[in-house]
Amino acid sequence: MKKILIANRGEIALRVMRSCRKMGIKSVAIYSEADANAPFVHFADEAACVGPPPSNESYLLGDNIIKICKELNVDGIHPGYGFLSENADFARKVTKAGIIFIGPSPESMEVMGDKLSAKQRVKTYDIPMVPGLDEAIEDIEVAKGHADEIGYPILIKASAGGGGKGMRVVENREEFEEQMNMAINEAVKSFGNGAVFIERYVGSPRHIEIQVLADTHGNTVSLFERECSIQRRHQKVIEEAPSAILTPELRKAMGESACRVAEACNYVGAGTVEFLYENGEYFFLEMNTRLQVEHPVTEIITNLDLVEEQIKIARGEKLSFAQDDLKIHGHALEVRVYAEDPQNNFLPDIGTLEVYKRPTGEGVRVDDGFEEGMEIPIYYDPMIAKLITYAPTREEAIRKMTKAIEDYDIVGIETTLDFCKFAINHEAFVSGDFDTHFVKHYFSDSSVVDTSSEDEKKVAGILANYFLDKSETKADYSPSSEVKAWEVNRV
């Protein structure tokens, strides 16, 4: 491949372009009218406007993107994450057009893109699964019978779900019917698919995911785990590698399970297998068939460039290393810097970056897509940057992150930096004794904000694009709903 188009924007587009430049490959940016002056556009070797600001009129127009590729003699497309990265139809069209799609096959995407089909595919590969059903169920009474057998509390989940949509915890038999109907209705509204299934509710889980790489020659390796348990609204905010909880034996077992999941769907490329962990047990959750937002922490502890590895695999090359060659080097933390106001229910806070100064120093990395004076557009996910620190030990990585947050100077909008500083210095996080309910345990909902007038318009524009691009950072609320605020529980 001599020329790659990045079918994305912002920090991930810039991130992919840097690897292309390092490999001597020319990069092509596509941009909406809102991103015309963004850093990723100027960094690319070539750039083409793909449409107006809304993502459904620009970044989601696969046919237009392929047309640009043909006009500019592009060899491959890197989809980044979000937007079209897990769109099997787009990947199929790209391949049909004679362009290399830098990612897995459309068939792998389709299998793993549906929670039920994923469970059915991996269940014969000796992968630990949460006790429950691996098929959709519609009959309320039959579903109640299965729930009785599984034992309460149980979880009703949308097969095509994500971000907490179509998900309901049921504490007892009496509330089952109401909760199941609500889950189905929400799934239809959010995904156009009302299929739901039930499984045991894992009450205090940790979210641990395994990065895998698989080439076209039958080689699959695990690049160890990332801990992603600090979340709000079922969305990751802080990630680290390695996890503070895993023993070497458990790490090896989970890595082997992740590789079997990848092999179960004939996976090729970089992918992430997600697990729930509780009390020494782990259970398969799902597989993300793309690069993850949090991939930098894995790059740091493995000394690998995951984008470079993706491109090499897409070119048909064998992995240059085996599982036994891989070692963990130190510890890495990542916090997502969102243009959101933690003191106002984490609502997006759109405005101008009047001051924007990045932290620097040894062991500090910033992946971003903005410069001072730029506006945060209302059309896309409000993530400004990913701030990453790394050090020989977890304790030192936390100290570096604390200082880096303090040195990150952003004026003009509210951000999640103070929230992240609070979280990483909380006793529960420092000790490693936390789970996905961190916010629930250590924050309290203090009020309900009336998101009306200008606030509602602002939120509506952003959220519409969250759901359109199906990004993993999409919000789990709607502008018409009451959004609960979180504030520090100082008791």
Q: Which residues are the active-site residues?
A: 290
What DSSP string runs through 417-465? Answer: HHHHHHHHTSHHHHHT---TTHHHHHEEEEEEE---HHHHHHHHHHHHH
Residue 317 · residue 333 · CB < 8 Å: no
CA distance 198 to 143: 8
**Residue 297 and residue 367: Cα distance in Å, rounded?**
12
**What whole-number distance in Å separates Cα of residue 228 and Cα of residue 211?**
12
**Two tokens at 176?**
């089952």
Q: Residue 82: which residues within 8 A CB-CB, separation 6 or more?
A: 8, 12, 381, 469, 470, 471, 472, 473, 474
Instruction: Give the count of beta carbons closer than 10 Å to the beta carbon of residue 126.
Output: 9
In this structure, what is the dihedral angle of CA atoms 15, 20, 26, 31, given to the nearest 10 degrees?
A: -20
CA atoms within 13 A on the CB side of 40: 30
- Residue 90, judged by CB atoms within 10 A of its CB (0-12, 13-18, 19+), counts as buried
* Helix H or strand E segment including 411: strand 409-411
Q: How far is CA 230 from CA 15, 285, 422, 423, 433, in A?
A: 24, 17, 12, 8, 12
- Which residues, listed in sequence order, are joined to residue 282 by a DSSP beta bridge? 277
The strand pair at 3-6 and 76-78 is best described as parallel
The H-or-E segment that residue 6 falls in is: strand 3-6
d(CA 203, CA 200): 9
Distance between CA atoms of residues 172 and 300, nearest Å: 45
What is the C-alpha separation between 121 and 127, in angstroms, rounded? 10
Residue matched to tokens 């499984």: 199
